[in-house]
């Protein structure tokens, strides 16, 4: 969440500190130190069965802060027990299992400090984060405690104070607004518009387009989207949150059926350039190409979008791999099957 916020609202963030963090949890060919899905599911099952019991809490405390004092361990145990119910702890674990913010890391442009203990089990994850956030500082402290706020926390606090002081001085001296932000772009257009225009005639088609435009703009306002451009029967909009962008696209798709038409929609999340209060760049091109792959009535998203909305209740169906015109590589695409609560 912190990574997403810093990349989306750089003007509201003057520093980012990631302590013992991981950009994703599951193993992948390009992320070999993640856990397998079976290991995660077994861990989730154990968590739901044992959460809050003295034995489970004691094992968690030892894993997080084995060298802490008895008093600190007792306090940490209370915090763990009071932090969530067993059901909430299971749902949080399921959500964390699905999250992947690796694609967002290069979009973070604020001063960032990445911290871990050398033997805390997340050292490879921290190194990955530090390597992929531009100009990030990486600090490895001795020991295996995952929690920096118990035990011998003075070295961490000293480094943190120095980093924040320097980041604040740099921030207060800066006068320019960030020119790159993380955004979710949405492209829509009416399916079969040429044939429908010929069927209705100029006057009828103009009335239909006006009704379509009004519906799209109402949904953009509802979901806090920004209209960037309108060309004929298509819309290009941006959002500062991928889940709201998906729900907006689904609301538009459902709403236009009452007008007797269908749309196709495509979404992608990526780093965009700010140009005269608009957004541009390769992420916009990818979004347009994703929309071109969508079928009639379909809301199609890139894998980046899917990875960022874990826990939102949005459900997807895999649409396979596609080569997007003018965009290097192959892209996994997903169709939205259920947009979840709005």
**What's the pLDDT at 29?**
93
Q: Are residues 264 and 159 in the same domain?
A: no
Q: Are residues 166 and 270 in the same domain?
A: no
Say what angle helices 86-98 and 37-50 make with each other, to 10 degrees. Answer: 170
Q: Are residues 254 and 191 in the same domain?
A: yes
Q: 3-class SS at 109?
A: coil
H/E stretch holding 201: helix 193-222
Residue 52 to residues 56, 70, 83, 334, Cα–Cα distance (Å): 7, 18, 10, 37
**What's the pLDDT at 41?**
95
Dist CA 98 CA 158 (whole Å): 34
The domain that contains 222 carries what CATH number? 3.30.70.1230
Q: What is the pLDDT of residues 61-82, one digit of tens each?
A: 998 888 889 999 999 999 999 9
Q: Are residues 237 and 106 in the same domain?
A: no
Dist CA 327 CA 173 (whole Å): 38
**What's the pLDDT at 155?**
84
Sequence length of the chain is 342
Q: Are residues 263 and 311 in the same domain?
A: yes
Q: Are residues 197 and 326 in the same domain?
A: yes
**What's the pLDDT at 147?**
67
Domain that holds residue 148: 2-173
CB 291 within 8 A of CB 266: yes
Which domain-ending residue is among 128, 158, 173? Answer: 173
Q: Are residues 141 and 236 in the same domain?
A: no
Q: Are residues 123 and 220 in the same domain?
A: no
DSSP string for 160-192: HHHHHHHHHHHHHH--SPPSEEEEEEEEEEETT
Interval 14-29 mean pLDDT: 93
DSSP string for 207-247: HHHHHHHHHHHHHHHHTT-EEEEEETTEEEEEES-HHHHHH
Across all residues in the chain, what is the average pLDDT?
A: 91
**What's the pLDDT at 170?**
83
Q: Are residues 103 and 13 in the same domain?
A: yes
Per-residue pLDDT for 173 more than 90?
no
Q: Are residues 167 and 265 in the same domain?
A: no
Q: What is the pLDDT of residues 195-254, one digit of tens each?
A: 989 999 999 999 999 999 999 999 999 999 999 999 878 999 999 999 999 999 999 999
H/E stretch holding 4: helix 2-8
**What's the pLDDT at 177?**
61
Q: Are residues 77 and 128 in the same domain?
A: yes
Which domain-ending residue is among 150, 173, 196? Answer: 173
Q: Are residues 21 and 157 in the same domain?
A: yes
Beta bridge partners of 302: 333
Per-residue pLDDT for 130 more than 80?
yes
């Amino acid at each position: 969440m912190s990574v997403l916020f810093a990349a989306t609202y750089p003007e509201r963030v003057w520093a980012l500190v990631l302590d013992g963090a991981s950009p994703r949890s599951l193993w992948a060919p390009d992320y070999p130190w993640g856990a397998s899905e079976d290991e995660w599911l077994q861990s989730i099952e154990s968590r739901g069965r044992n959460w809050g019991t003295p034995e489970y809490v004691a094992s968690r405390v030892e894993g997080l802060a084995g060298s802490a004092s008895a008093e600190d361990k007792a306090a940490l145990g209370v915090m763990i027990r009071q932090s969530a119910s067993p059901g909430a702890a299971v749902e949080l674990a399921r959500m964390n299992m699905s999250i992947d913010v690796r694609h967002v890391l290069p979009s973070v442009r604020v001063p960032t400090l990445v911290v871990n203990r050398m033997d805390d089990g997340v050292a490879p994850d921290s190194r990955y984060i530090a390597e992929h956030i531009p100009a990030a500082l990486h600090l490895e402290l001795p020991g295996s405690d995952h929690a920096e706020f118990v035990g011998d926390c003075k070295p961490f606090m000293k480094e943190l104070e120095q980093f924040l002081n320097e980041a604040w001085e740099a921030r207060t001296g800066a006068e320019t607004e960030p020119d790159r932000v993380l955004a979710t772009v949405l492209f829509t257009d009416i399916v079969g518009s040429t044939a429908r225009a010929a069927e209705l005639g100029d006057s009828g088609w103009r009335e239909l387009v006006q009704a379509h435009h009004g519906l799209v703009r109402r949904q953009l306002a509802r979901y806090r989207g920004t209209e960037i451009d309108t060309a004929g029967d298509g819309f290009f909009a941006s959002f500062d949150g991928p889940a709201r962008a998906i729900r907006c696209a689904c609301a538009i798709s459902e709403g236009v059926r009452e007008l007797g038409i269908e749309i196709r929609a495509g979404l992608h999340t990526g780093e965009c350039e700010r140009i005269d209060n608009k957004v541009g760049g390769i992420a916009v091109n990818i979004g347009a190409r994703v929309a071109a792959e969508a079928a009639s009535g379909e809301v199609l998203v890139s894998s980046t979008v899917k990875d960022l909305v874990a826990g939102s209740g949005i459900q997807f169906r895999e649409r396979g791999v596609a080569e997007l015109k003018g965009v290097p590589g192959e892209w996994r695409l997903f169709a939205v099957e259920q947009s979840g609560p709005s």
